[in-house]
Amino acid sequence: MTSMTIRAGLALMLAPLLLASCVRAPDNTLPKLNVDPARVKVAGLSSGAYMATQSHMAWPDVFSGAALVAGGPWGCAKGELATALGTCMKGVPAPDVKALASRARADASVGKLGPLRDLADDRIYVLHGKDDDRVAASVSKAAAQFYEALRAEDSALASMTVIWDGDRNFGHNLPVAVSGEDCRASVEPYLGRCGFDAAGEIFDKLYGPAPASAKSPSGELLRFDQHRLRPDGRDAFLADTGYAYVPKACRSGAECGVLVVFHGCKQNAESVGETFVREAGFNRWADVYHVAVLYPQTRASYAPLNPQACWDWWGYSGADYDTRAGVQQQWLIRALAALGVARAQADIQQP
């Protein structure tokens, strides 16, 4: 057999692998969209809910609303894993909401968080299942009470709306309408077949009543290189690939909102594939509301200790994890700027 024949054979053998690699490779960058700055919101489940409230508090000039599913108040863990596992999951002892609100005001006064006045007119939706055996209802309730405490201490925040939804029967998962696992269970991929469309409810509470009924998604689910957005090259402890769902109207230049959705622990793509980013229900409502959905992805690690690929809500990425200077918050603001959120671009130089 000649060397040319061998090379040809190897090329034929490797061609499918090379092709598959090209298909899987993420786009280098996020698409620049025509973003309505008043319609940029954030949502998350479990550790993603903690990340959502951290993002909302860090960048209230960017986000005008937050939806928290099975997550507690901003600053709950105070940088301590033991507190995270006790107070911030089991509610023993209970989160000190007034103390957390006081710390938030102090951090905002020195620029560690965004100006709290920008929380005015925001809508906060806190959803918790009565069958949740991972996060106590009192912890989620404390998330709502945290925002209420901020509002009570500042008349400028009187127009902020806080909605508590804790009377539905579902476990530690994100309820979906028809597919998913046992509604009352807490098993991967943490999408519960509950006959209740949590994604639709989140859109309704954050963006208002739906202008039309939702059908199958017709936009694009894009993959992008998350490492290109590292702040000053620092590791944000994210996966190689992130996802973004872009409705056709947004891709064509129409003015659109942006919803950032943070997955929960063990719900990242490395753990559940594309199940969450495809089947959680947000994409079909994104078409109806003309809202692009950003799905950042974490990665599991043992140094720092984060084997379940949680978002940082106790300090594994550094002591400033729940402030503007946190590396994951700095990554996020760069991702939003890449999508076309003008206020995020202005904030990049203001950690």
> DSSP letters of 190-258?
-EEE-S--HHHHHHHHHH-S-SS---S--SEEEEEEGGGG-GGG----B-SEEEEEE-HHHHTT--EEE
pLDDT tens digits for 237-247? 999 999 999 99
Question: 46, 47, 55, 271: which is the annotated catalytic residue?
Answer: 46
CA-based torsion, 236, 232, 61, 345: positive or negative: negative
Catalytic one of 128, 172, 263, 290 = 172
Quick: pLDDT tens for 29-87.
Answer: 899 999 999 999 999 999 999 999 999 999 999 999 999 999 999 999 999 999 999 99
Place of tokens 């079909």: 284
The pLDDT value given to residue 29 = 86
Which residues touch 63 (CB under 8 Å, ≥6 apart)? Answer: 40, 41, 42, 55, 56, 122, 260
pLDDT value, residue 12:
36
User: Is residue 132 annotated as part of the catalytic site, yes or no?
Assistant: yes
Mean predicted confidence (pLDDT) in 295-306? 97
**Section 285-305 average pLDDT:** 97
Beta strands 181-182 and 191-193, pairing class: parallel
What is the Cα Rg of the chain in Å? 20
- Is 70 exceeded by the pLDDT of residue 5? no
Residue burial 95-118, b: 16+ Cβ < 10 Å; e: rest: bbbeebbebbeebbeeebbbebeb
Q: What is the per-residue pLDDT for 11?
A: 38
For the cut 50, the answer to whether the pLDDT of residue 272 exceeds it is: yes
* Residue 119 DSSP class: G
176 vs 349 pLDDT, higher one: 176
Give 20's pLDDT tier (boundaries 50, 70, 90). Answer: very low
Active-site annotation holds for 46: yes
Question: Tokens at residue 114, please?
Answer: 């965004």
Concerning whether 182 is annotated as a catalytic residue, the answer is no
pTM higher than 0.75, yes or no?
A: yes
Marked catalytic residue, from 61, 132, 287, 312: 132
Answer yes or no: is pLDDT of 197 > 60: yes
Of 223, 200, 314, 213, nearest in space to 24 by CA: 223
